[in-house]
């Protein structure tokens, strides 16, 4: 059983956008994992095998308890019965208390469909008549992380202490990000400015909560609070 299970469309998505939170959770003694929905085989740089090794290295940096790949088709993530069954099996297998999923609006279609797929699977996983390899189970909550598109977050996590670990996990993907020693076509994320933007974004959201670095998250459901002083005072 896991405390938190994060889903990403491609290897490196989770590290980029909620690596700080996962690192913090591990420090707090929680069990956390990542499910990459595809192998990133449509990527311009690197190969699926290279990205698999990079994902393993990033998992070591984050000290993950679990990392698996669903091996869905990159560039063609579907919200169909077969894909839902694959994701439901992961949810029921690891029984996380919380699911992390991409926000449903983004420039990359894979991120959009990954969000829809995980959201649907989160719900259907709790239905006893939805057959799979494991018994019915629904996590307590589904939390969305922002990728290229952002909205007003429901909350921001202070990742000031965890930011160096997050960036080390991101930089494990040497084939994808800026590497002056690599001869490969340039992409949106391979420019040196992209890694700068990751830090600038974390600084921006950190500023919102008066800390050095922050990561924004969104929940659809209302937040239950018993004591407002625990949060607001």
Of the listed ranges 4-13, 46-55, 121-130, the one predicted with least confidence: 46-55
Residue 184's pLDDT band (boundaries 50, 70, 90)? Answer: confident
182 HSE (CA, 13 A, CB side): 16
Q: What is the pLDDT of residue 165?
A: 98
Percent of the chain surpassing pLDDT 70? 100
89 near 121, Cβ under 8 Å? Answer: no
Q: What is the distance between the alpha carbons of residues 9 and 113, in angstroms, rounded to a whole number? A: 9
57-98 confidence digits (pLDDT tens): 999 999 999 999 999 999 999 999 999 999 999 999 999 999
Taking residues 202-212, what's their average pLDDT?
98
Given a cut of 90, whether residue 161 has pLDDT beyond it is yes
Taking residues 148-171, what's their average pLDDT?
96
Ranges of each domain in the chain? 4-232
117-158 confidence digits (pLDDT tens): 999 999 999 999 999 889 999 999 999 999 999 999 999 999
Given a cut of 90, whether residue 110 has pLDDT beyond it is yes
What is the assigned CATH class of domain 4-232?
Answer: alpha beta
Of 112 and 225, the one with more pLDDT: 112
Q: What is the distance between the alpha carbons of residues 168 and 174, in angstroms, rounded to a whole number? A: 11
Residues 6 or more apart whose CB falls under 8 angstroms from that of 126 comprise: 136, 137, 138
């Amino acid at each position: 059983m896991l405390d938190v299970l994060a889903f990403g469309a491609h290897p490196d998505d989770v590290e980029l956008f909620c690596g700080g939170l996962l690192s913090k959770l591990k420090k707090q003694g929680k069990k956390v994992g990542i499910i990459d929905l595809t192998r990133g085989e449509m990527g311009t740089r690197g190969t699926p095998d290279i990205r698999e090794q990079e994902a393993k290295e990033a998992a070591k940096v984050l000290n993950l308890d679990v990392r698996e790949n669903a091996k869905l088709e990159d560039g063609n993530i579907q919200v169909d019965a077969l894909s839902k069954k694959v994701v439901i099996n992961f949810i029921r297998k690891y029984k996380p208390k919380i699911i992390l999923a991409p926000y449903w609006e983004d420039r990359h279609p894979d991120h959009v469909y990954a969000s829809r797929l995980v959201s649907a699977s989160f719900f259907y996983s709790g239905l006893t008549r939805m057959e799979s390899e494991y018994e019915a189970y629904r996590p307590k909550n589904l939390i969305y992380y922002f990728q290229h598109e952002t909205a007003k977050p429901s909350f921001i996590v202070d990742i000031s202490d965890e930011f160096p670990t997050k960036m080390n996990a991101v930089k494990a993907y040497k084939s994808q990000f800026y590497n002056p020693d690599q001869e490969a076509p340039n992409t949106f994320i391979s420019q040196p400015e992209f890694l700068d933007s990751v830090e600038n974004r974390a600084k921006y959201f950190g500023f919102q909560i008066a800390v050095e670095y922050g990561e924004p998250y969104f929940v659809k459901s209302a937040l239950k609070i018993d004591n407002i002083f625990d949060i607001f005072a």
